[in-house]
Structure formats: structure tokens, C-alpha cells
């Protein structure tokens, strides 16, 4: 299942800063727009994987996974 997220980016002085609109806490800063987009993408992937791992740890055992479309 592919999901699309929205990167909010802006230049602030010499730096490019960015956030993921849909997920609180994902923010990055880089010297160029291209570097920023790459870093935001990597950070988003890592955050999603950490969230998956945490969720499965909380569920412990005897759970089922069900896709939900919004």
C-alpha cells in the first residue's frame, strides 16, 4: 500500500527547513532544497518504521493486522 505525505519546505536565511504535514515531529534542516527533500524522506521512512516496531511491541501477541483505507 502506497501512502503519500506532504512535505512543507521553506528557505530560512542560508538554510532550507522542512516538515511532514501529516506527522508531528518530523522536521529537518539542510543547506540545499535537494538535500532537505532527501533528508525529510529518510527521516519519514525511519519514523514510520520506528512507529511500526513500537506498535507491534505494544500489541505483544495474538493480534491481527487489518488494512484501513481513509
pLDDT digits (tens, 9 = 90+) for 28-57: 999 999 999 999 999 999 999 999 999 999
Whether this model's pTM surpasses 0.85: no
| Sheet bearing 7-12, strands edge to edge | 7-12, 15-20, 27-30
Q: To which residue does cell 511532514 refer?
A: 20
Model confidence at 68, pLDDT cuts 50, 70, 90, reads: confident
For 34, counting Cβ atoms within 10 Å of its Cβ (0-12 exposed, 13-18 middle, 19+ buried), the class is: exposed
Residue 1: per-residue pLDDT: 59
Amino acid at each position: 500500500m502506497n501512502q503519500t505525505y506532504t512535505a512543507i519546505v521553506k528557505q530560512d536565511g542560508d538554510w532550507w527547513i522542512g516538515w511532514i504535514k501529516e506527522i508531528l515531529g518530523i522536521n529537518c534542516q539542510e543547506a540545499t532544497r535537494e538535500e532537505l527533500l532527501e533528508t525529510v524522506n529518510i527521516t519519514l521512512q525511519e519514523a514510520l518504521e520506528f512507529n511500526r516496531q513500537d506498535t507491534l511491541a505494544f500489541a505483544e501477541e495474538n493480534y491481527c493486522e487489518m488494512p484501513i483505507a481513509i
